[in-house]
Amino acid sequence: MKIIPKALTALLCSALMFSAASHAEEVGRHSFKIAFVQAKNHPHGLGAQKFAELIKEKSDGKMKVMVFASGTLGGDTQVISSLQGGTVDMTLVTPGLLTGIEKGFGLYGMPFLFQNAKEVDAVLDGEVGQKLLERLPPHGLIGLGYWDHGFRHVSNNARPITKLEDLKGLKIRVQQIPTAIETFKALGANPVPMSFTELYTALETGTVDGQENPLAAVETSKFYEVQKYESLTGHFYDPLVAIFSKKVWDGLNETERDIVRKASLEAQAYERKVSREMDVTSRKALTDAGMQVNEVAPEEIERMREHLKPVTERFTQEYGAELVGEVMAEIKKVRDAQ
């Protein structure tokens, strides 16, 4: 057996120690800003705070994250632009707001596409979800993954929505994306595209009759103060895209990038869990706050779905029939396994 001389052993140990020290020194001091439109106690805010904790922990305190909630650094569109310019580091946005950058993201906004979280996760964490994230860097953005926003429902001040016809004539604030606008037009409502940061005031003043968001957003943004009816339509499911500024990303070394990636994935798992739990608890909270919350019968949901087929077909062609086909194939696998 070959015996390693003491001098060589010492040299190897020294080299290993130097390598470890060099690795530790690769993590520089950075301060990141993460901005989003929801409240700090919303699942998005809780997930962002978890991300901040993980970044601090994984970098031994050298990297930190400042959390800016409730649109304090601007609405979604403004913040995306800030990411591209490198003045904000990270944000969480619904995919439809990225369609001007990469139109394929619009497919997530197809009406009544998903039925449950298992279908959602199979698509987001599968090939289609990753394929779309990989299309972001040429546009100045890095896709870190998908967090949860939840199924969207309609609230308003006029009447409960129990059937398709109940939507007729209602002024409903929608996201500034084509699928949302065309879906509500087809349902007979008057869609009003508007930034989320303007929504509470618009509801309070009667500029719009209602809005459509997941229940957690209605609770944490206190829309129950200015809305009477909440109807569980579940017309869209919204994932949340966690995106990072490529301009800032390019200035990080691989060790620092790895810390951001891992922290985002761990925060993603945490946020999804919190979001889905809050979807249940928010319903009770809204009822306790005085809102009238009603289910919509499955046959009425099916009527809406059938009524919206022309919208679905139009956007299938616009966003790519092949890509939509891949999504439907993933969903079918989940349904067949149940």
Looking at this protein, which amino acid is placed at residue 23? Answer: H
Do residues 273 and 147 lie in contact, with contact meaning Cβ atoms separated by under 8 Å?
no
Report the CATH number at residue 118. Answer: 3.40.190.170
| pLDDT-derived band at 36, boundaries 50, 70, 90 | very high
Of the CA atoms within 13 Å of residue 264, those in its CB half-sphere come to 21
In a domain, 105, yes or no: yes
Range of the domain at 72: 28-337
pLDDT tens digits for range 125-173: 999 999 999 999 999 999 999 999 999 999 999 999 999 999 999 999 9
* CA trace torsion 169, 175, 181, 184 (10° rounding): -40
In a domain, 10, yes or no: no
Whole-number Å distance between alpha carbons of 140 and 81? 9
Confidence at residue 317, expressed as pLDDT on a 0 to 100 scale: 94
Do residues 272 and 120 lie in contact, with contact meaning Cβ atoms separated by under 8 Å?
no
As for how many domains the chain has, the answer is 1
pLDDT at residue 15 greater than cutoff 70: no
In a domain, 252, yes or no: yes
| pLDDT-derived band at 2, boundaries 50, 70, 90 | very low
pTM confidence score: 0.85
Looking at this protein, which amino acid is placed at residue 75? Answer: G
Average of per-residue pLDDT values in the chain: 92
Do residues 109 and 319 lie in contact, with contact meaning Cβ atoms separated by under 8 Å?
no
**10 compared with 323, residue with greater pLDDT:** 323
Whole-number Å distance between alpha carbons of 136 and 140? 7
Confidence at residue 290, expressed as pLDDT on a 0 to 100 scale: 97
In a domain, 23, yes or no: no
- CB-CB neighbours of 194 under 10 Å: 18
| pLDDT-derived band at 39, boundaries 50, 70, 90 | confident
Confidence at residue 226, expressed as pLDDT on a 0 to 100 scale: 98
In a domain, 120, yes or no: yes
In a domain, 21, yes or no: no
pLDDT tens digits for range 312-324: 999 999 999 999 9
Partners of residue 90 on adjacent β-strands: 34, 244
Whole-number Å distance between alpha carbons of 45 and 49? 6
In a domain, 20, yes or no: no
pLDDT at residue 12 greater than cutoff 60: no
pLDDT tens digits for range 101-116: 999 999 999 999 999 9
| pLDDT-derived band at 96, boundaries 50, 70, 90 | confident
In a domain, 11, yes or no: no
